[in-house]
Amino acid sequence: MTEHVQIPLVQSIFTPSGEELVVISRAEYDELVAGMADLDDDAVAGRIIAESLAAIERGDDIALPEAVWNRLEARESPVRVLREFRSMTQKELAEAAGISQSYLSEIERGSREGTLSTIKAIAKALAVPLTVLTEDY
């Protein structure tokens, strides 16, 4: 006798911007929601915190005060913002990154762009992921 296995039907829909949406049956949705009801808020918060700490430990993320993120979002020089947050002088950061203080000053002012290797050295000296210095906020 042959056993029949029911495979759930999943449909993908793409929005005009390219985002993929997945359509599942109501029964499957209800089953997912019921499974999530078993999770308490403390367990979910604990998992989020553990994942965030692991990302920070890997160097994929960084915990910064809100005031620092606000300055970054206000388009201030990320090098200057993070240098000041780390309580470093330009001279200290320049030495740690292996560049001249005048070059660092030009990068902070935006009058010069650093090379990729220079920005990597600055990120390392500031103990932040490269993306914190290169992403637009």
Give the tens place of pLDDT for each residue, 33-91.
Answer: 776 666 666 776 677 667 766 766 676 667 788 899 899 999 999 999 999 999 999 99
**Domain chopping of the chain, boundaries:** 11-58, 66-134
CA dihedral 34, 37, 39, 45 (to 10 degrees): 130
Query: Distance of CA 12 to CAs 16, 29, 53, Å?
Result: 13, 15, 33
CB 61 within 8 A of CB 51: no
Both tokens assigned to 129: 């992921």
Fold of 66-134: 434 Repressor (Amino-terminal Domain) (1.10.260)
**CA angle (112 as vertex; 110, 118 as ends), nearest 5:** 110
**Is the pLDDT at 120 greater than 70, yes or no?**
yes
DSSP-H helix ranges across the chain: 26-37, 41-58, 66-73, 78-85, 90-97, 101-109, 116-126, 130-134
Read off φ and ψ for residue 20, nearest 5 degrees.
Answer: -90, 130
Give the model's confidence band at 97: pLDDT under 50 very low, under 70 low, under 90 confident, else very high.
very high
CB 13 within 8 A of CB 23: yes
Q: Tell me the percentage of the chain whose pLDDT exceeds 70.
A: 75
